[in-house]
A = this chain, B = another copy of it.
Amino acid sequence: MTINQKKKYLIIGTGALGGFYGAKLANAGFDVHFLIRSDYNYIKSHGLRVKSAAGNIVIDSTNCYKNASDMPKGDVILIATKAFSNNQLKELIQPVLKDSSAVVLLQNGLGGEDYLADFINNTQIFGGLSIVAVSRDAPGLIHHHDFGSIKIGQFNPDGLPRKTTQVLQDIVYDFIRAGVKATAVSDLMQARWEKLAWNIPFCGLSVILDADTKKIVSDQNTLSLCAEIIKDVATAAASCGKIIPDDFQRQMIDITIKMGPYFPSMKQDFDAGKPMEVEAIFGNPLQAAQSSGYFPPYISMLYHLLKFMEHERKGSTIT
């Protein structure tokens, strides 16, 4: 099968995550268009590079845009902006949206799709969860540390599973052709809670303790604390009808023990003086569990500690 070169992929937000998947797709021959904020000038002149043990990628000639209004309309619109700017999504997406667009929200946490549902038909909205360790090491240079798989599911406002559509299968197949281990999931909320079982302990503790994942799992105290936090996330998920089995909980720790030292994206944001995705990753799951009758103490404590830390650091700038 040949790649449909007329199918336009739009990357909304070319940070580490958007840059990585965009580069993979472009490298495979897809027609990819990048909306870029901070590194626009650099990438326009020098292109986009991915440094990876799985193979370096160099995209010399990139379709770069500073403003969404200059972009073509997208067949698949991948949103890789940070959740804390989701209130700007309508403005960013409307210019590039057509009736047949599929909009994939590549974000962690809960609640992001609701911003899209405000102006996009539910059937056009998808959520993506990626297990990938990437960082932006310099302008236009993305460092791929480990992993890279992605799960995509269709949004369902009631949080229940939804039958996999042809549109979803096509997107997943495009990713696979781009060398990404992609899977279609019928239950997007299940996938979101599963991802939270990693993000909540490791994003939270890395910021609060100023520690990378290796340090966290190497200390017996934080190792057992991680297990307690993951259990709390699983109980919160269960209150929302999503079951995270014990095996899966243990796996979150096991994969982290096996991977190299890593600062999760939230820690990268914090150290760069940027806002953190505290509401998406902690606040919204806390509220979701509370609404379902379970008050998760660990999530609540992490949430309050992070909010305090964010408030304390007043001079933060959004880039």
Residues of A within 8 A of B (CB): 208-209, 211, 215-216, 219, 221-222, 224-225, 228-229, 232, 297-298, 300-301, 303-305, 307-309, 311-312
Contacts and interface: CB of A to CB of B under 8 A. Distances in A.
Contacts of A222: 304-305, 308
Contacts of A300: 225, 228
B224 A304 contact: yes
Given A219-B308, A222-B304, A304-B225, A297 B232 contact: yes
A311 B225 contact: no
A227 to B, nearest CB: 10
Contact of A311 (B219, B229, B305, B309): B219
Given A219-B311, A311-B221, A209 B297 contact: no
Contacts of A224: 304
Given A209-B305, A211-B312, A225-B301, 11 more contacts: A209-B309, A219-B307, A219-B308, A219-B312, A221-B303, A221-B304, A221-B308, A222-B304, A228-B301, A297-B297, A297-B301
A297 B294 CA distance: 14
A301 B304 contact: no
B221 A307 contact: yes
A259 to B, nearest CB: 19
A209 B309 CA distance: 7
A216 B311 CA distance: 12
A281 to B, nearest CB: 15
Nearest to A222: B308
A52 B24 CA distance: 68
A298 B300 CA distance: 10
A132 to B, nearest CB: 26
A85 B300 CA distance: 34
A222 B297 CA distance: 14
A28 to B, nearest CB: 43
Contacts of A307: 219, 221
18 contacts: A209-B305, A209-B308, A209-B312, A211-B312, A216-B308, A219-B308, A221-B303, A221-B304, A221-B307, A221-B311, A222-B308, A224-B304, A225-B300, A225-B305, A225-B308, A228-B301, A228-B304, A297-B297
